[in-house]
């Protein structure tokens, strides 16, 4: 145990697991014990409490929303990067390109809605915006919005800034790197045209969803890996209901839809299309 780290008994670990599962659907395996110790030790010390048990008692007793949120924020895993699993963005650009062609002759402002569910620090929704604007500049004239949500309020705050360290460009091709602004201070910035498309909101996938949809595409990637099979099935089943008929769902490379896959057909590597059932495309 590192200096300053608080001990975690089996009973305390059991309490932490039960709380984060009940609140966020996150299923912590025994392999996450070290992570729990290092993340919660900081909070326990900052609150000047003697143990993780005392901290959990305090959360239960005070019912402070801020402390409850800090507990969740501490236990999420937020790893992400620009253009992660980039075949998804190529596929989406192809689909949106077809939508643009189909709507060319129609009057009015065509509508496009995309949801990045579990967006972490924003690289995923910004990649969607940057790719689609580069592929189809006419989307600037569309009623086009990207909703980006995450349970972790810290990552939502960071994402809203659209500012990242230059190291985020590592591994990106020069063409992709040129999509970002580089003010020369060690940061990169997402250009305003792309930022303006994305709305960041805190949202727990386990809770009620305030939006009605339908979404033309949903990215829910590397989020359900933290859930158990039952919760995965429930979440993907709910995503199927809020996706437009024939819309696309993109999931992480190691994920599958499990019992939530009824309303989808697999159309590509970790790409699913909503079967056209009795759903409508009426605007929310
Ligand atoms: C590993 S990141 C994935 C980010 C991005 N989708 C990607 O693939 O690069 C997983 C994100 O899921 C979020 N998350 C975990 N449980 C959640 C829940 N119940 N509701 C909403 N977001 C959740 C975490 O906070 C974290 O930011």
Same domain, 41 and 133: no
Is 99 inside a domain boundary? yes
Same domain, 53 and 176: no
The tens digit of pLDDT for each residue in 152-172 reads 999 999 999 999 999 999 999
Q: Which residues constitute the domain of residue 23?
A: 10-75
261-280 average pLDDT score: 85
Concatenate the DSSP letters of all residues of 126-195 into one string: HHHHHHHHHH-GGGGGSEEEEEEEES-HHHHHHHHHTEEEGGGGTT--HHHHTTSB--SSSEEE--HHHH
Question: Residue 217 corresponds to which tokens in the numbers above?
Answer: 């595409």
Write down which residue in 75, 105, 121 finishes a domain.
75
Query: Is the pLDDT confidence value at 233 over 50?
Result: yes
Same domain, 153 and 215: yes
Same domain, 228 and 187: yes
Protein residue whose Cα sits closest to atom 24 of ligand 1: 76
Q: Ligand 1: distance of its center to the CA of 192 in Å?
A: 24
| Ligand 1 atom, smallest distance to 123 CA | 9
238 lines ligand 1 (CB under 6 A): no
The tens digit of pLDDT for each residue in 49-75 reads 999 999 999 999 999 999 999 999 999
Query: Is the pLDDT confidence value at 231 over 90?
Result: yes
CA 243 to CA 265: how far, in whole Å? 13
Write down which residue in 49, 75, 101 finishes a domain.
75
Q: Ligand 1: distance of its center to the CA of 101 in Å?
A: 33
CA 87 to CA 110: how far, in whole Å? 25
Same domain, 263 and 128: yes
Is 148 inside a domain boundary? yes
Question: What element of type H or E holds 273?
Answer: strand 271-274
86 catalytic residue (yes or no) = no
CA 180 to CA 170: how far, in whole Å? 13
Q: Ligand 1: distance of its center to the CA of 5 in Å?
A: 26
150 catalytic residue (yes or no) = yes
Is 120 inside a domain boundary? yes
pLDDT band at 97 (very low <50, low <70, confident <90, very high): very high
Same domain, 155 and 235: yes
The pTM is what?
0.94
CA 237 to CA 28: how far, in whole Å? 22
């Amino acid at each position: 145990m590192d200096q300053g780290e608080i001990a975690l008994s089996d009973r305390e670990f059991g309490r932490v697991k039960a709380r984060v599962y009940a609140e966020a659907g996150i299923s912590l395996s025994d392999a996450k014990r070290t992570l729990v110790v290092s993340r919660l030790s900081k909070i326990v010390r900052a609150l000047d409490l003697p143990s993780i048990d005392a901290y959990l008692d305090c959360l239960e007793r005070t019912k402070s929303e801020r402390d409850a949120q800090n507990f969740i924020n501490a236990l999420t895993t937020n790893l992400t990067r620009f253009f992660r699993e980039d075949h998804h963005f190529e596929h989406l650009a192809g689909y949106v390109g077809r939508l643009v062609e189909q709507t060319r002759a129609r009057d009015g402002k065509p509508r496009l809605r995309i949801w990045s569910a579990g967006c972490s620090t924003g690289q995923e929704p910004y990649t969607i915006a940057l790719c689609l604007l580069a592929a189809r500049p006419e989307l600037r004239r569309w009623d086009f919005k990207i909703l980006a949500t995450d349970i972790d309020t810290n990552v939502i705050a960071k994402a809203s800034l659209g500012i990242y360290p230059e190291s985020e460009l590592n591994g990106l091709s020069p063409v992709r790197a040129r999509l970002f602004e580089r003010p020369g201070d060690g940061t990169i910035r997402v250009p305003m045209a792309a930022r303006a498309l994305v709305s960041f909101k805190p949202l727990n996938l386990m809770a009620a969803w305030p939006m009605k949809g339908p979404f033309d595409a949903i990215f829910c990637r590397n989020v359900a890996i933290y859930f158990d099979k039952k919760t995965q099935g429930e979440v993907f089943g709910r995503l199927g209901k809020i996706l437009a008929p024939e819309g696309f769902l993109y999931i992480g490379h190691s994920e599958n839809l499990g019992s939530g896959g009824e309303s989808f057909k697999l159309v590509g590597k970790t790409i699913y299309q909503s079967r056209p059932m009795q759903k409508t495309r009426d605007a929310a």
